[in-house]
Amino acid sequence: MKRVVLIAMFVSLLAAGCSDDKKPSSNAADAETQVVTEYKDPLTPTTTTTTTAPGGGTTTVPGGTQGTTPTSQGQGAPGSTTTTRPPFPVEMKLDKACVKRGANGDTQTLTVKTRAKDTVAYSTEYSDHSNELSNPEYKSGSGYGDADDDGDYKAEWKIPDTAPNGIARLHVIADGRIHSKLTFRVVGPLESC
């Protein structure tokens, strides 16, 4: 069940355009509200809401609750910003640039360097845009787990027999962000790379 929830969250983030932008929104009463969601664990996001009301102070509340703090003179800051931790420089690499598919084929290996104990998730999108959600025969090429105390995460898998030839893209979630820059070529079991 945990895998299904993680994959559903992963797909919804991809559908949203893979944006890392966090933009403030404002309500009808001219109060400025900024909601920031961090994914320390992709299954349990932490949301912080900061609200600044005209004539009032600023309140930052974890868990998505909004509030305002009036000042004694009715004057508040003109705006506010929620400060989150800076992005961690995630390093990722694949072991092979080309992999033979099938049970007798090669294995592909993903290595990620991230924050200690960070949750890492990955999903392979093949050249026909299929993945483990659109093709239930794909029993490998996706998964998740936690980095170790040094921030190292490693996953190894065989390319499914029915995966199409062509360029595959690996989508990785690490440090609460989606990274989609890793690609590799898939060839048939009797073809050469």
> What is the Cα–Cα distance from 101 to 163, expressed in whole angstroms?
7
What CATH number did the domain enclosing 98 receive? Answer: 2.60.40.1930
The pairing of beta strand 142-146 with beta strand 152-158: unpaired
Q: In which domain, by residue range, is 36 found?
A: 2-62
Same domain (yes/no): 117, 168: yes
pLDDT, the chain, mean: 73
Tens of pLDDT along 32-58? 444 444 445 444 445 444 444 455 454
Same domain (yes/no): 53, 119: no
Q: What is the largest CA-CA distance in the chain?
A: 78
Tens of pLDDT along 93-125? 999 999 999 888 889 999 999 999 999 999 999
Of the candidates 162, 118, 119, 120, which has an alpha carbon nearest to the alpha carbon of residue 140?
162
Amino acid at the residue 40: K
| 179 pLDDT higher than 90 | no
How does residue 128 score in pLDDT terms, banded at 50, 70 and 90?
Answer: very high
| 141 pLDDT higher than 70 | yes
| 171 pLDDT higher than 90 | yes
Same domain (yes/no): 98, 36: no
Sheet holding 46-52, edge to edge: 25-26, 32-38, 46-52, 58-62
Same domain (yes/no): 46, 96: no
Task: Out of 44, 62, 80, pick the residue that ends a domain.
Answer: 62
pTM attached to this predicted model: 0.58
